[in-house]
Every structure is written in structure tokens, then in C-alpha cells.
Chains A and B, each alone.
Chain A
């Protein structure tokens, strides 16, 4: 189905991999202290961001690929100039940073600080000034977790237009906040256990949330309606929505500490493809030998990358057969549509 490139540049487990908006670059961060940038076309490493002093949990790139932001367990988030690889700004926070993400226009960044060591989990939003290096250290907005450590924030992201912030909690809850005021607009709990990832559709009107409860759910932004549910047989660490095709890619696997030595428990370290609309599993891609911690898909839908606990990033380019794959029902629907257009 596809040709994989194996990117080895990290010594330790990957935590996040991400494409920039054009998809020509792939950014990866791991439990090591460096972030790596790769050419997505051939897997060659372009460079690294060196400066963090602990696990980097998260990375994001602004729409213009000018800045990248990273969040680390060393209590800092750093802003990097992608072109030169220099760190232009460092925010120092009161607890480890679990997730960072630029707003869709790139003018703001949200940072989730973890609820540990007596600190309350927060979503902090900072303004980004593209014209200069130094950034404001004062958060523009702070959303504080009100519900105690059991439902701390794990991941969050921006909706279409940057209007809302959707945050996932450790207890399976998903909350929606107004990105301007921080007001809680609603929350919904359809999953159990820790939510591990939240990724948006290309137009940011709906999103998929993966959970340790072995499922991933698709919600719409406006009403927080549960649209679809994809169930797997092992805990899921990440899920992403493919452009072009109506698929969902899920990544996960038995946690390393739960894999017993018997032959019974195979880790199932596979990327799983589900049909987005029919909720049915279509295929799996094997290859990793640790749980998949993150899956990301190229913005044009031509390839996807998976970062695993085993320290590898695998970059799979889709073949023609992938794009040709359609359910009979879909084929019929397309044909009908075609026919109607011709008739007009």
C-alpha cells in the first residue's frame, strides 16, 4: 500500500510528529531533548532544535512555517525560528508543558501546563508578534481547570477561525471554551479514561479524540455532538483525520508495561485505518515495535507519519491503491453525482 521511510534521529520515544501547512517538512519531538525537522519527501533530516532540558511533549508550526513552538517537561515552552533553528523566545511556566498549538492564524499560541506538583492545570494563551523575536511573557488569557486533577487538561486545540478552544480532559471529558473570553461553552463526556489526542479536520469544524479506553470519537465543534465512534482493542494514543479520503488513522498499542512476556499479548503496535463515515476498520499498517504515540497526516493527504515509543518515525507515502479505495456505496454515490452534473 505504501512505501515507508524510517526516520531515526531520536534516541527515545517519540511524543509528537507534525507536518507544516505545506507538508514539505515534518517536525518530530521525543522524550529526548531535541526536536527534529525532516523533509517529508525523502526523509532526510534538515536540522534540529537544541535547547530544551527535558522531554519535549509537544510541537507546533505556524501557518507560514516561520515559527515553531515546543513545550517541554523542563517547565518551558520555546519559540524557534524554523529557518535558522535558533530559539527566539522562552516562556517559563510553573509546571511541565503538555501541549502547544498555534491558532489557525498563527497570531496566538495555546500552552497546556500540567496539573502536577500542586499546580492547577491551565490553558494559557500567548500573543505571537511575528515582527520581532521577543514575545510577551504575560498570558493573554488563562483558562484554569476547575475540576481537580482527575480531569486535568491533556490536550487542546483551536477550532475554525480560532473562535473556540476545544480541550480534552484526563477523565474522558471534552470541553469547549470561547477563545476570546475563556468562558466554558459546554462539555461532553462520551469516553472513559485519559484522552490522549485531539486533532481537527482540515477545515477545523470537527475533530477526533483518542482515548486510553480503546476508542476514538469524532465530535463536531458547534454542538459537541458525538458524530462517530471508532473502537479498537488496545488503548489509543493518537488519531488523525485524513484529507482527500474519508478515513481516520488511529495509533496506539498495548502500553509497554502491560505487555506480558507470554506470546498471548502481542502489542498490536499498528496504525489502524478506519472509514470515517462507516466507522469500519479498513486496514492496519504494522512496522513499529512499540506503541504508536502520535500519528499525523500530510495536509494534502499524500502520506502520514507515525511516531512510536520505539524511537522511530515511520513516514508512509500512500500509493495509488489507497486513493482508489472506495466502498461500493461511495462509488455509486460518486457515479450518481457525476451523472447529475452531466445531466445539467
Chain B
């Protein structure tokens, strides 16, 4: 018998066997503990066991709304349900839905269901994540931003404003003509767009890509951030309770478990919305809206989209065929829980103040009123309706026909409503405007209608007053925008005659200003003064008007009204892009923004009568904004008192201003002192260092060779005291031109010239007196000419620098020329000024006479231009002409006849080989230059040439002379050659003499020149 083989399993080699088929056959799935489909529901009623099935049934039904309920486990204890239960839904999605829909669901008055997902319980509640004890969450420490109205406490009551240039924003105190004082240091990159004050000035808002930020308090600390990515538009409710922002990016919420979710203030309902209303106090969004579909794709957004009642109790937004009115005190619920249906509503406006209707009792709160209009439909006329809130009672409707547009302008106190109705003619080709003026406070709200032929483009009520101003324009096809055809009209209420009974108000136009480009009306916030601006970015202008001018009434104004209109001031501001009054109505700021163009960027501030107080041109200037103020808290009595003692206050303020100016000066001096010390300290340290390096200046000192030495010896000197010196021309002149050159030494303190020429014998003479080597001792030069010689030209030339020059009885044709390195004043009697006004004479930076400024037509009648650096500036004129021109370097006079200049004429200096070019297109002229210390004179009456370039002085003299004598007054081109300097001097003299001699027979057209006269 074979020995049984012991089977030893451990020795068995199993490696060769394949169990995979068995493994797959008997594989047991690991139970998946996935509780995603379970929810736990708390807050269910605690019911006795008997009622449990009923409860189960109710709850199953409830939860079935969200998906199939697979199982429900309701634990029992002591024969009662425990108040919570676990429900298994068909899948996780259904569980999610249950949480979303049923969490917080009110089962009945007492019971509110709390539904959570089971895994969440594990995640948050188990593992001791919740302690039994309640720990108070830390309340963030209150951070004071200081007194938000601190700026109102300024003892001097100064205004603040924001200036924004490049990326820098500064807030400044306005200090009249002094440099504005910084409230805070300018901040770079404070905003990514613009800056905005809230309506009462409490907050300053800046933009950043993620939203807007509010700043305030004394130091403009950050008070709050309002995170609304991509925000572009900003608006406020009138009492600063709410803020409205609009962003083109729809709101999105970070996913549930994202850390950013905790910071996100928006709830899931807001996803996709673009418009947000924020509570300014808490910084939380109170309501978000999607844009109405009709606005989604619109390019330009009407703004504001949400309008507010005067007290912020209601706000409203317009949708298609309906107005949504929200009650802000009732959690922004719709008023009466429904939309206010208005078929075809086109626009609406709230009254900006509480309205006192005829029916409002004295002690009642004023009413909240809004107006809206609807355009014409097939069987209904267009109409404007005035509605009272919250009753929604329609107070008044006005029916209108042929309407193309309506703009509603409320008076700031809610007394009047003006409907600017643009109507079209039957052909629909042209439009015109009717103004429908509703008086809200009168019984039944009467309507006054003003029919105009023009289209009104701007309309403004006087704040607190009854007057208004319009800008209108005739609607003509293809208008030429270059022609100013706007009309500014001023309206006032006709004064009631006789009876005191309130009659229907009637507005009449008291004055019209026509042919203007004006397009903006800016009433002072206090009324009475109104600025009318032309704001188009290229040729800005501002006119300041007073509606209650004290002086006599102009005759062209109607006597029916009390107003007396007066144009106080007119200013031009080329690049003007914006205008704004400050809150007190004391100043008007105008600015030119680099956002629009690069012309004259900067701002100007005027006082209320239009005096320029401050002007600052800042490169890259962007925006200017006055800080608004809340309404004054002074009572009527207080105000009266102030007005009464105004003089006293004014004196005090003026004194304070003067002191301030002194203080500023002192500060400036101190600052300069400091800079000076700093600089010299630094310099001495640098110099010490250089010394160490052995690099001081002395090292570079080199030999200097004096090559030439001029010695002057005085051989004889006579001294004579002359107090008064007369130059008497007692000899009839043979030459048409006479030159007198006087080297006068010593210098008389006074000098008078008397021309004793007989007028009949020298009718074409030109009298020229040149006084050289003038000395500042001579204070007065007097020239007297016989008045009968009106055809004569008279020229008085003074080189050197008298302190004043006095001419008497000079006829119109007289001129004067002054060179001097000290400021020279010209006193004239007679008509000299009329001639000189056309000429610009500058000399080494000291302007002797500056006539061209302000003259549009450059007509230099008889002009003498100065020694060194003379420009006849005719660039501003299209047709410039110069009748007579004298340039007098130290060497030369050229007196041409008629010159038409179309370009810049630069008359140069006295360099030996310098050049002057005159490019003229018509009859031309030429000119000049001189060798120093050589005097020469040429007179040319008429020279005609296309273009002449004169290169060298003496050649000019000769060529002109020769040219004229040979060609009879025509010079085509003067070439450039030059002889030796010394020689030329004499040739120059010869030239003019010869020319003079040769021209004897020519009448006016010839060249008349000569040397003559006598020295004293």
C-alpha cells in the first residue's frame, strides 16, 4: 500500500495557476459610502409617535418637489419624534436642489425647516469643529475717519477743489489769486478713471478696476471699498444714502469653496446683473438689477438709470411700458408690490425737492412727485403726466401733438416743471420747440405755453427763482457750423399789474443775444448771476450776466419785468471743455481737459462778476471739480444779519486776505533761504572734494594773450552845462529828406525840438532827428511841430534810454522809435497812439511799445522798429500792410514806401555781416542792417519786387539807390556781395548821397535820401 502522501498546502506551488477568472467571478464591490444624496432636515415639528406617519407623508410630499425621495429616517425618542430627520434623495443633484429650495422654508408659523447636506454636517459639525460654548465673534474695531464734514469748519469758509492732471490727483483749498494750498499731498494713480464727489461733498470717490472707493475725512482716508469689477458709471441718491454703480461686466460669483467667496458681497441671485445699488453707510449691496434688454446692446447708456425722489424714499427705473418704483424704506420692495404700467413711457423725472401743491396743508410734509411722458401712438396724443407718490394719483396731464421729443426740467425747489417739447412740422422736415411751463404750487396746476420758432438746445431754471435762460437755434437744413447762429434768451415773469390776486404767471423774454456759439447755461447756485459758455473745445468763451443789475436798464429790454440784465464780463478761453460753479456761488471754474484735446490744458477761476482770479496752465490737465456743500443750516434771520453786517465782514476778510498774502510771501522767502543754504552747503562739500582730488579750477587757468589794444586819449575836453537844449531847424530843406544826427554830450536833462520849416516849401520832406548816445539823465524829450504840416512825416529816433519821452501835437503820421535797455514809457499827446498801436517793438526783452497785442488787423501805419531784436508781428492778420517802415540799427535806416507783408518780417540786428530776409508775396520790402557805429539812411518810397533777399547792408544801400535810379523804382533782386568793411562805411554814405542826388526829379516814387542837417 502506498504511503499516503501528505498534502502540504504550504509547499504547494501556486504560482503557475491563474485565479483571475475566479477573482472576477467572486469580486465583491466595496460599499461606497457616498452620502451626497442624503440631506438632514432640522426644525421639523416634534410630534407624538402616532402622528409620525402623517408628518412623514407631509415632508415626503414637500421634498418630492426636488426629486424622488428614496428613504426617510425619522428617529424617535420617548414616543416622540426628535424634530429632525434624514432623507435620502434619488441623487446628489436632488439633494442639492432640496438644500437650495427648502432651507429656511417656513412649514408653519412656528416651524422653519433647516436643510443641510449630510456630508456637510460631517465636514463642519463633527470632529469637535463646533464647541459647545458660544464664542462671540470679534467685532472689528471701529475705525474713525475723523469728522467727515471737517472741511465745512474752515474758519475762512474756503472752497475745496480737486485737480486731476496726468495720473495725479490733488485736493486743494482755493485761495483766490494765491497759490492753492494742498489739503493733502497729491496722490499719483489715485483713480483709474475720474474722481467724483458725492452730492453733499462728504465723500470723494475714485475708480479702480475692481470697483469704486470712497474717501473722506480730514486726510481723505479710505472709508470704504465697493467691489464691482469693471465699474464705469457712478451715481448717488440725493441724500447720500445710496450709491449706484454700473459695470458692463455681469456680476459673477466665485465657486462655493473658493476663498474669494467669503469676500464676495453679492448673493447668488445677483449673478449676471450689472446695476448695483449700495448702501453707502454699510458698504453692502442692497439691490442688484440686470439691464433691461433694450439697453443691453446700446452704445451710449442713458444715465442715471435709477432716479431718486428728493428724500431718497423712493427710487424708480424705467422698463419697457412700465416704471418700477421701489420703496427704499421697505427693503427696496416694489411700491404696492407691482410695476406701474405706463404704455410706451419714454422718460421720467422726479421733482428734485418736495412739492407743495395747492392742496398740501401747511404742516404737511411736501409731496413726492414725478413726471413722465409718453409719445404719440395711433389713437392717442403724446402726453406729459405728473404723478404723486405713493398714491400714484395723476395730478395733471398735458396733451401734446406732433412731438418728436420732450425734455422735462424741474425747478430746483419743485415749484415749476418745464417741458421742452420739440415738435416737428407736418412735413417732419424741421422742428421747433414749445415750452410748457407747469406751476405746481397753483391750484389745478396751470400750464403756460411759450411757442418758439427755434429749437431749444439748453434750458436752465434760476435756482430758487422764477427766471430761466434758454439757448436756441433755428432749425435749418445743412447749417454751416462756422456761423454763430445760437440765440441766448433770458426770461422773467411779467410783473402783475394792479391787482394783488395771483394771476396766471406769464413769462416774457426780456433780452435775446443772437449770433453766438454759446451752448451752456450755468446759473450761480444762489441765483441772480448766470454764466453763458461756449464749450466746444476749440473756441471757448464765457459771458457773465447779472440779472438784477443795479444801474440803469438798457433800452432794448422790456419794462414788463423787474429783471435788469447786464453783461458784466466776457472772456475767451480757447480750449474750454467744462464749466462749474462752486457750491457757494462765488466762483466759476472753467477748464480745458487733456482728455478732449491738448489745447491750453489747465483751469481758470473767475469770481461771480467774471474777474479772472486764478489761472493755471497745467500740462496733461484732466479734470476739475469743486467740492459740493450740504444745504446751509443758517436760518433766514441769520442770513439777514449777515447781509446787514456785510461791510464789516468784508473788511475783516480783506484784512485776512492781505495777511495771508504776506504770510505766503514770508513762507516763500524762508523756503528760498533754505534752498540757498542747502545748495551752498552741498557746493562747498563738492568743492572740498575736488580740492582733495586736486582738480580745482586754477589748474585750468591758461595764458591769455591780448592781441589788440585800443588806446583812447582825450586831447581836449570842454565841459558845458546845458540844461535845456533846443534844436532849431530854421533852414528850408533842399532835400526831400533831412537827417539830423546829434551826438550830444553832455546830456541835457531836457530837450525840445522845434521845427520851423515852412510847410509850403517842404511838402514832401521827411524830418528825421536822431539823437544818439543818449543818456538816462535826459528824462524828457519834447517835440513840437507846427500843426499845419500834416502831410509831413516826422520821425523822432532816440537811441539810448531816456526814462520818458514826451511828444506834443504830433500829427497822425508821426511815429516814434525808441531803443533802450531800460523800460521806456512813451507819453503822447495828439494822435500818435493811433499809429503806434499797430506795431510791435521789442528791444532786448524790454518792450517799448507793444501794439500788436489785441489788434486783429496788423496795419503798421508808420512804424519804426527797434535796434536789436525787432519783429513786426503780423502773423495774426490775413492782410497785413505796412505803410512805412523804419528799422534803425546802429547803422541804417530804410524807409520803404508801401509794403504788404504776408509773413513774418524779421528785421535784424546790427551785425556786420548779418542778414535779413523778407519774404513777401506782393510788393515787398526789404531791409536792413548796419554796421555798428556807422549811421546810414536810405529812403525808398515805393519798391516793387516779388521777393527780395538782402544779404549785406551796404550793398543794399547802393543797390537800392542804383536800382531805383536806373530802373525807375523796381528792384528785382539784390544779390549778396560785400566789400571790405571799412570801405563800405564810406560807400554807404556815398551811396545814399548819390541816390539822393539822383532822385531829385522823382516824385514820391523815387528815392529820396541824403545826409544833411547839423549837429548841435
Contact = CB atoms under 8 A, between A and B. Distances in A.
Nearest to A315: B911
A288 to B, nearest CB: 10
A264 B599 contact: yes
A45 B682 CA distance: 41
B600 A329 contact: no
Interface in B656-693: 669, 672-673, 675-676, 679, 682, 686-687, 689-690, 693
B914 A43 contact: yes
B909 A330 contact: no
B700 A160 contact: no
Contacts of A4: 844, 868-869, 909
Nearest to B600: A264
A203 B672 contact: no
B700 A63 contact: yes
Interface string B148-178: 0000000000000000000000000000000
Interface in B828-859: 842, 844-846
B821 A1 contact: yes
B722 interface: no
B983 interface: no
Nearest to A310: B906
A101 B914 CA distance: 29
Contacts of A5: 909, 911, 914
Specify the main secondary structure of chain B where it touches its partner: loop
A2 interface: yes
Interface in B700-722: 700, 702, 704
A329 B868 contact: no
B690 A42 contact: no
B725 interface: no
Contacts of A203: 686-687, 690, 695, 697
A233 B619 contact: yes
Contact of A3 (B679, B686, B693, B868): B868
A264 B676 CA distance: 38
Interface stretch (A121-129, A171-179, A277-285): A277-285
Interface residues of B, number: 42
B785 to A, nearest CB: 32
A263 B876 contact: yes
A180 interface: no
Interface in B598-622: 599-600, 617, 619
A327 B575 CA distance: 35
A139 interface: no
Ordered nearest first, which 4 A-B pairs have the shortest CB separation?
A329-B672, A1-B845, A8-B915, A6-B914
A328 B669 contact: yes
A158 to B, nearest CB: 12
A7 B876 CA distance: 27
B574 interface: yes
Name the interface size band of chain A: 35 or more
Contact of A278 (B575, B672, B871): B672
Contacts of A255: none
Contacts of A327: 672
B904 interface: yes
Nearest to A276: B679
A286 B869 contact: yes
A50 B617 CA distance: 46
A233 B911 contact: no
Contacts of A332: 673
Interface string A227-244: 100000100000000000
A330 B695 contact: no
Contacts of B682: 220, 227
B515 to A, nearest CB: 21
Given A5-B909, A6-B908, A286-B869, A321 B821 contact: yes
A119 interface: no
Given A43-B914, A63-B700, A6 B909 contact: yes
A338 interface: no
A333 interface: yes
Given A277-B675, A286-B842, A329-B676, A205 B686 contact: yes
B665 to A, nearest CB: 10
Interface string B67-86: 00000000000000000000
A71 to B, nearest CB: 24
B600 A161 contact: no
A319 B914 contact: no
Interface string A158-169: 001100000000
A160 B676 contact: no
Nearest to A6: B914
B192 interface: no
Interface string B312-337: 00000000000000000000000000
A205 B682 CA distance: 11
B821 to A, nearest CB: 6
A63 B871 CA distance: 38
Given A7-B911, A203-B687, 4 more contacts: A3-B844, A8-B914, A203-B695, A319-B844
Nearest to B906: A289
Interface string A32-46: 000000000011110
Given A4-B868, A7-B911, A160 B846 contact: no
A265 interface: yes
B360 interface: no
A277 B875 CA distance: 37
B869 A287 contact: yes
B672 A44 contact: no
Contacts of A284: 845
Contacts of B821: 1, 319, 321
Contacts of A86: none
Nearest to A213: B619
Nearest to B687: A203
B777 interface: no
B913 interface: yes
Contacts of A44: 912-913
Contact of A42 (B876, B906, B912): B912
Contacts of B845: 1-2, 283-286
Given A42-B912, A160-B690, A264 B574 contact: yes
A96 to B, nearest CB: 30
A1 B451 CA distance: 65
Interface in A280-331: 283-287, 289, 319, 321, 327-330
Interface string A252-281: 000000000001110000000000111000
Interface in A41-96: 42-45, 63-64
B599 A265 contact: yes
Most buried by B among A2, A6, A42, A202: A6
A233 B869 CA distance: 24
Nearest to A42: B912
A319 B690 CA distance: 32
13 contacts: A1-B821, A3-B909, A4-B868, A22-B704, A205-B686, A205-B689, A206-B686, A233-B617, A246-B679, A265-B599, A278-B672, A286-B842, A332-B673
A18 interface: no
A202 B619 CA distance: 32
A190 to B, nearest CB: 14
A276 B848 CA distance: 29
B366 to A, nearest CB: 50
A21 interface: yes
Contacts of B846: 1
Contacts of A1: 821, 844-846
Nearest to A5: B911
Contacts of B676: 277, 329-330, 333
Interface string B615-646: 00101000000000000000000000000000
Nearest to A24: B704
A246 B682 CA distance: 14
Nearest to A202: B697
A321 B904 CA distance: 30
A214 interface: yes
A89 B15 CA distance: 96
A248 to B, nearest CB: 13
